[in-house]
Amino acid sequence: MAKESKPRQNSTRHPGTVDTVKGRAGRILAKGNKDATYETQQEAETAVLVAVPDKRQANARTQEYLDELAFLAETAGATVTQRFVQRLDKPDIRTFVGEGKLEEIKAYVQHSKASMVIFDDDLSPSQLRNLEAELKVKIVDRSLLIIDIFASRAKSATAQTQVELAQYQYLLPRLTGLWTHLDKQRGGGVAQRGPGETEIETDRRVVRDRISFLKERLKDLDKQSQTQRKSRTGMVRVALVGYTNVGKSTIMNLLSRADVFAENKLFATVDSTVRKVVLDTVPFLLSDTVGFIRKLPTRLIESFKSTLDEIREADLLVHVVDISHPSFEEHIAVVNDTLKDIQAADKPMLLVFNKIDQYNPEAETEHHGGFDEMNEDEDEDAPAPRPSLEQLKATYMAKLHDPVIFISAKDRENIDELRALLVRHVAALSPNSWYTPASDTGYSAE
C-alpha cells in the first residue's frame, strides 16, 4: 500500500553506503532486494524437501508439516519432486540428517537433477556449508524460504526495507557458506575456491553497514507512519490477524470493498493495508495484516516491527481461522503464541472461523502419494475422525470466552452476522459510545 512516501534511493545521511553495498549485495544475494535471496523464482526449479521430526511426532503430523513446506516451496516458485523424512532425537550437528539419509538424498538429487534441497528447519551456518559441499545444489532452510517469499511480495517501502533487513540479518552469520555456493551458481567449477578471509571480512563489514542503514531508514519510515496513525485517532482500530491463507484479505475486501490481493498462496499479504469502514453508521479502521506461520523466523518478526505495530496498536483483533484446514487448532495456537511474542495477546478478540463451505468431516488429511516409500518408520496412526461442524460450533462457543462466529467469506455465508458482531464490539469500544443498535443484533452462528 502507499502508506508511506517512497524514501529517496540514496540517503544523504549515509553517502555512498548504498552504492558501495549495492555492488556487494548484488554479488551475495542472487536477485537483490526485489526478488529472492536465492533464485527460487526461476522457472523449472525443482525442490526436494527434508524433515527431521523427533521420534514422538505422529506421521500424519509430519506429513502435514511437509504439505505446508511444499506449499511454501510452490509459492516461492519451485516444484517439489520428493520428500525425505528422518526421525531423530536430535538433528545431526554436522549435516542435520544422518550419514545414511544424506547418501540417499544425494543419490536422488544427482539422479533427478533437483536444483535445491529445502529443510523444514533452520540450519546452522556450518550445517548449511557442509550440506552444500555434500549435495552440491542450493540448500534452502525454512527461514530463507519464508524470507524469500516475503521478498517477492513486499510492495511498500516499509515492507521492502523490512525484508531487506531480514535478508541481510540472515546472511551475516552465513557469509562464508554462501560464498562457495554462489561461486558454483555463477558457473565456476568445483575446483574454484571462494574468496579469502579478507574479502569475507570486508563483506561482513559492508553487510553490517547496510543493516544499520536499513534500521535507520525503518526508523524514519516508522516516524512517518506514526504521524499518519496520530491523524487517525479517535476511531476504533480493528486488525485482521490469523495464520497465512485463512482468508483475511478476502474478509477485508468483503467488509471494506477494498481491492486487496487475495490468492491461494502463502503470504499473499506482506504489506498491511488500512481502510476506513463504516458499518451501520459505526466508523472504524480495519487493517489487513501479514499472516503468521509456525516457526516464523524471529528475525523476520523483529524486522517486521512496523507492520506488526498495526496489530499492536489495534483496539480489537479479529482472529480469522481456516476451519477446513486439518491443523486449524495448531494454527490458532501458533497465532496466539505469535501475538504473545509481539505483546498483543491481551486485546479483545473475535474469533472468525472461515471456510465453513469447505469443511469436510469425512476428509482425511491429504498426502501426496508416491512419496511415502521414502519415509521410514511409517507408523499407522490414522488421523482421528473430525467432528461435525455442529459439534465444532458447540465446542468452540462453549470453550472460548471470546465471541465466535462461523462464516464462509467465499459463499458470503453469515457475513451480515459478522458485520453485526463487529458493529456491536466496535461501538462498545468507541470513545463516545452513543451507538445503540436499532434492534438486538445478537448474532447466530447458523
327 touches, from Mg ion, ligand GTP, none (C-beta below 5 to 8 Å by class): none
354 binds, among Mg ion, ligand GTP, none (CB under 5 to 8 A by kind): ligand GTP
**50: annotated binding-site residue?**
no
Q: Is 253 annotated as a binding residue?
A: no
Residue closer to ligand GTP by CB (options 171, 407) is 407
Pick 38 or 150: Cβ nearer ligand GTP: 150
Tell me: is residue 187 an annotated ligand-binding position.
Answer: no
Site string for ligand GTP, 387-416 (x = CB under 6 A): ---------------------xxx------
The four Cα atoms 70, 74, 77, 83 give a dihedral, to 10 degrees, of: 30
With CB atoms as reference, the residue minimizing the distance to Mg ion is 269
Please state, in angstroms and as integers, the Cα–Cα distance from residue 59 to each residue in 52, 75, 81, 377, 378, following that order.
12, 24, 19, 8, 7
- Is 291 marked within a binding site? yes
Q: What is d(CA 52, CA 153) in angstroms, rounded to the nearest whole number?
A: 29
Q: Which does 177 bind (CB under 5 to 8 A by kind): Mg ion, ligand GTP, none?
A: none
For ligand GTP, give the closer residue by CB, 135 or 356: 356
20 is in an annotated binding site: no
Q: Any binding-site annotation on 189?
A: no
Binding of Mg ion at residue 269 (CB under 5 A)? yes
| DSSP calls for 168-199 | HHHHGGGHHHHHHHHHHHTT--TT-----HHH
Whole-Å CA distances, 174 to 88, 144, 290: 25, 11, 27
Q: Which three cell numbers stand for residue 403?
A: 465471541
**Which of Mg ion, ligand GTP, none is residue 266 near (CB under 5 to 8 Å by kind)?**
ligand GTP
* Cell numbers linked to 105: 538424498
Phi-psi region of 38 (alpha: psi -120 to 50; beta: other; left: phi over 0): beta
CB 214 within 8 A of CB 169: no
Q: Which residues within the stretch 282-341 sit at the binding site for ligand GTP (CB under 6 A)?
A: 291
281/8 Cα distance (integer angstroms): 40
Q: Which residue is nearest to ligand GTP (CB)?
A: 291
Residue 268 annotated as lining a ligand binding site:
yes
Buried b (16+ CB within 10 A) or exposed e, 38-65: bbbbeeebbbbbbbbbeeeeebbbbbbb
- Of 358 and 441, CB closest to ligand GTP: 358
40 contacts Mg ion (rule: CB under 5 A): no
Nearer to Mg ion by Cβ, of 146 and 268: the residue is 268
How many whole angstroms separate alpha carbon 245 and alpha carbon 290?
10
Under the binding rule (CB under 5 A), the answer on residue 354 touching Mg ion is no
Host H or E run for residue 331:
helix 328-341
Minimum CB separation of residue 409 from Mg ion in Å reads 11
Task: Show contacts with ligand GTP in window 239-268 (CB under 6 A).
Answer: 242, 244-250, 262-264, 266-268
Question: Whose CA is closest to 142, among 124, 118, 162?
Answer: 118
Distance CA 137, CA 209 (A): 30
Nearer to Mg ion, 247 or 326 (CB): 247
> What single-letter DSSP state applies at residue 406?
E
**Residue 264 contact, options ligand GTP, Mg ion, none, Cβ 5-8 Å cut-off depending on partner type:** ligand GTP
Whole-angstrom Cα Rg for the chain: 23
150 vs 91: CA distance, rounded Å: 27
Is 267 a known ligand-binding residue? yes
Considering only residues 337 through 376, tell me which ones interact with ligand GTP, judged by CB under 6 A: 354-355, 357-358
In the complex, least distance from residue 356 CB atom to ligand GTP, rounded to whole angstroms: 7
Residue 396 labelled as part of a binding site = no
What DSSP state is assigned to residue 356?
G
Of these partners, ligand GTP, Mg ion, none, which one is at the site of residue 355 (CB under 5 to 8 Å by kind)? ligand GTP
Q: How far apart are the C-alpha atoms of 350 and 391, rounded to whole Å?
A: 19
d(CA 291, CA 26): 29
92 marked as part of a ligand binding site: no
Is there a binding annotation on residue 97? no
* Minimum separation from the CB atom of position 251 to ligand GTP (A): 7
Instruction: Please give the single-letter amino acid code of residue 196.
Output: G
Query: Looking at beta carbons only, is 176 or 269 nearer to Mg ion?
Result: 269
249 binds Mg ion (CB under 5 A): yes
Separation of alpha carbons 420 and 127, rounded Å: 53
75 binds Mg ion (CB under 5 A): no
Q: Is 10 annotated as a binding residue?
A: no
> What are the grid coordinates assigned to 409, written together?
467469506
The residue count for binding ligand GTP (CB under 6 A) is 23
Residue 50 bridge partners (DSSP): 84, 119
* Residues lying near Mg ion in the complex (CB under 5 A): 248-249, 268-269
Question: Known binding site for Mg(2+): residues?
Answer: 249, 269
* Residues lying near ligand GTP in the complex (CB under 6 A): 242, 244-250, 262-264, 266-269, 291, 354-355, 357-358, 408-410
